[in-house]
Structure 1
Amino acid sequence: MPSGPNSRLPNQRAIIDRRALAEAVAGLHHERGAHARPEIIAALKDALYRGREELERRLLAKPAAGHEITAGHAFLIDQLVRVIFDHASTHLYPAANRTAAERIAVMAVGGYGRAEMCPHSDVDIAFLTPQRDAPWCEQVVEAMLYLLWDLGLKVGHSTRTPADMVRMAREDLSIRTALLEGRYVWGDEPLYEEAAKRFRDEVVKGTERQFVIEKLAERNARHKRMGDSRYVVEPNVKEGKGGLRDLQTLYWIGKYIHRVRVAAELVDVGLFTRTEYTSFRRAEGWLLAVRCHLHTITGRAEDRLTFDLQRQIAERMNFVDRPGKSAVERFM
């Protein structure tokens, strides 16, 4: 499963200083107890706002750095989730002697799991617990979700045991694909490792051919729905033909068959040449950058390059007019 976003991020503390934020949250709780909630939410919101501001500055300075900026947004959310988990599990619902059932692993899935988040991407989280109906786990998860919602984040979430995860992944292609991108964020790491191993051994093993057939059928249906052409005049950079989802589908199939954690390892197993992977990676980074600009300009999760947005993004990405071709034509 994918590694975290922080390995390729320069100057991480300029985005968010988790230790300082955690100390501030602990201090507020120590001083005011349950009455500190508004101040704690304000501190978390301020950290989110400042982190996004820093990443917007970096995007303007390096307007084609899609991988760096999306990894930065995933890093920002990681640190907030960690602070919130620690606050919920130690301050709001302390348990001195937790039982074996009172464990939680927080896992990022989907685009968040890949560490490819644009400014207004959904935060997709899976909470893993050893068994169902554990009151402490339910309380901590609920407290975390309310804090994340109070920050204005759009959270996709599930709470499952490893056995639930295996059963549902076998039955549902979307769940299986999301878990393929699963990444440990915080909490009980051995529980996460158990779930990851069971996913590989009990879901992936022996179903490779079926997965390829289903993902290609899904891709064909999506192409038909989106116009089935690379040359639409207002393309969708995520779902359109030749867009991010096509690249991700290629990587998903390769990762599923070859059991690798990240797409770069597909070179090592011989699926891509180094030149091919570099070309795919460059295209992906450029599309991710365009998507970040779309989110930043519109203030929402926008993926369609409308005519008015094409001009704005061409300017932000430093395209200029050339003889016989305008800046926006060169961008497109």
Structure 2
Amino acid sequence: MSPHQEKVLAHAARELVAASATEPAALLPLYQKFLKIENHRLRLRHQAGGGGREVCASRATLIDILLRNIFALASAAADKANGASAIPLSLVALGGYGRNELNPGSDVDLMFLHQHAEGEIPAAVSATAEQVLYFLWDVGFKVGHSTRSVREAIAQANDEMLTKTAMLEARHLTGDADLYRLFRARFRKQCVQGHEKDYIAARMEDQARRHEKFANNVYLQEPNVKGGCGGLRDYQNLLWITYFKEGALTTTHL
């Protein structure tokens, strides 16, 4: 654990965990203050020379800690209100947040993963998801979110390349870890294996469209460092294709 992470955890323990017995709605100012202080620390760290990747990873860690506290509050309140206990529900980070790259102002992409059929979702599951989302919106986050069963997640991943790519970098945050492991195993078996050629072809087509948008030229006076030729999205494309070919999201396997 890094010194920065230890400091954030200690701050959360003092300010958030200690007040967890309070009604969730009354905790909003506390969470807003916590986030304001930690964001200021990150800004100072960046201004002092901290690298972009380092700052993005630290921001993801900060949001992890915040979400784990919010999820614990929301699930406890929902279980109490609905007379339930420990209903399987997993909170999962997707996309850039899933890969621990979260710029200031970036959306927080989340998936609430459950094991129930459509129309049979327990009230405690819906209440937990709603409470977490309302809290995040009230704190000031832009949130991309979905609530899916493992079966629904697999079906939607196979139906749409961008969804599959977001789930490719999924990361378990809190909640039922066994449910998340089941999802990862099925994702690998049903969304990756046997789908390599189709996925790689779709990614190359996406890359060609982006390059055409920028005249297939890296020598631009004002290049788009994210979507342009040779930019960040091309590098990420390489990693995603490597996962389908080699099973890993690193360049060391190339």
TM-score (norm 1): 0.71
- Which of 237, 245, 252 in structure 2 is aligned with 1:249? 237
Counterpart of 1:139 in structure 2 is: 127
Counterpart of 2:16 in structure 1 is: 22
Counterpart of 2:74 in structure 1 is: 88
On the 8 A contact 2:59/2:104 being kept in 1, the answer is yes
How big is the shift at 1:97?
4.7
- Which of 204, 207, 211 in structure 1 is aligned with 2:199? 211
On the 8 A contact 2:57/2:102 being kept in 1, the answer is yes
Q: Does 1:109 align with 2:102?
A: no
Q: Does 1:45 align with 2:32?
A: yes
> Alpha carbons of 1:227 and 1:151: their partners in 2 closer, same or farther (altered >3 Å)?
farther
> What amino acid maps onto 1:62 in structure 2?
G
> What amino acid maps onto 1:116 in structure 2?
E
How big is the shift at 1:58?
1.2
In structure 1, C-alpha distance between the alignment counterparts of 2:232 and 2:122, rounded to whole Å: 39
Q: Does 1:60 align with 2:60?
A: no
> What amino acid maps onto 1:156 in structure 2?
G
Q: Does the residue aligned with 2:174 lie in a helix, a strand or coil?
A: strand
Q: Does the residue aligned with 1:229 lie in a helix, a strand or coil?
A: coil
Counterpart of 1:277 in structure 2 is: none
Q: Does the residue aligned with 1:49 lie in a helix, a strand or coil?
A: helix
Counterpart of 1:148 in structure 2 is: 136
In structure 2, C-alpha distance between the alignment counterparts of 1:127 and 1:77, rounded to whole Å: 16
Counterpart of 1:165 in structure 2 is: 153
Gaps in structure 1 of 5+ consecutive residues? 1-6, 272-332
Superposed CA offset, 1:87-133 (max 9, x none): 1011354266537xx22101100000010111111100011011142
Q: CA RMSD in A?
A: 1.8
Gaps in structure 2 of 5+ consecutive residues? none
Superposed CA offset, 1:180-236 (max 9, x none): 000001000000000010000111011111111110100111122244322222222
> What amino acid maps onto 1:153 in structure 2?
F
In structure 1, C-alpha distance between the alignment counterparts of 2:142 and 2:214, rounded to whole Å: 25
- Which of 185, 197, 212 in structure 2 is aligned with 1:197? 185
In structure 1, C-alpha distance between the alignment counterparts of 2:84 and 2:77, rounded to whole Å: 15
In structure 2, C-alpha distance between the alignment counterparts of 1:247 and 1:121, rounded to whole Å: 19
> What amino acid maps onto 2:59 in structure 1?
H
Q: Does the residue aligned with 1:201 lie in a helix, a strand or coil?
A: helix
Counterpart of 1:321 in structure 2 is: none
> What amino acid maps onto 1:105 in structure 2?
S
Q: Does 1:76 align with 2:76?
A: no
How many residues in Structure 1 have an aligned counterpart in Structure 2? 249
Counterpart of 2:5 in structure 1 is: 12
Superposed CA offset, 1:129-177 (max 9, x none): 1114221100000010000001110000001000001111111000100
Q: Does 1:98 align with 2:85?
A: yes
In structure 2, C-alpha distance between the alignment counterparts of 1:153 and 1:250, rounded to whole Å: 30
On the 8 A contact 1:14/1:54 being kept in 2, the answer is no
In structure 2, C-alpha distance between the alignment counterparts of 1:156 and 1:215, rounded to whole Å: 22
Q: Does the residue aligned with 2:141 lie in a helix, a strand or coil?
A: coil
Q: Does the residue aligned with 1:240 lie in a helix, a strand or coil?
A: coil
In structure 2, C-alpha distance between the alignment counterparts of 1:13 and 1:151, rounded to whole Å: 23
Q: Does the residue aligned with 1:42 lie in a helix, a strand or coil?
A: helix
> What amino acid maps onto 1:14 in structure 2?
K
Q: Does the residue aligned with 1:11 lie in a helix, a strand or coil?
A: helix
On the 8 A contact 2:90/2:176 being kept in 1, the answer is yes
Q: Does 1:184 align with 2:172?
A: yes
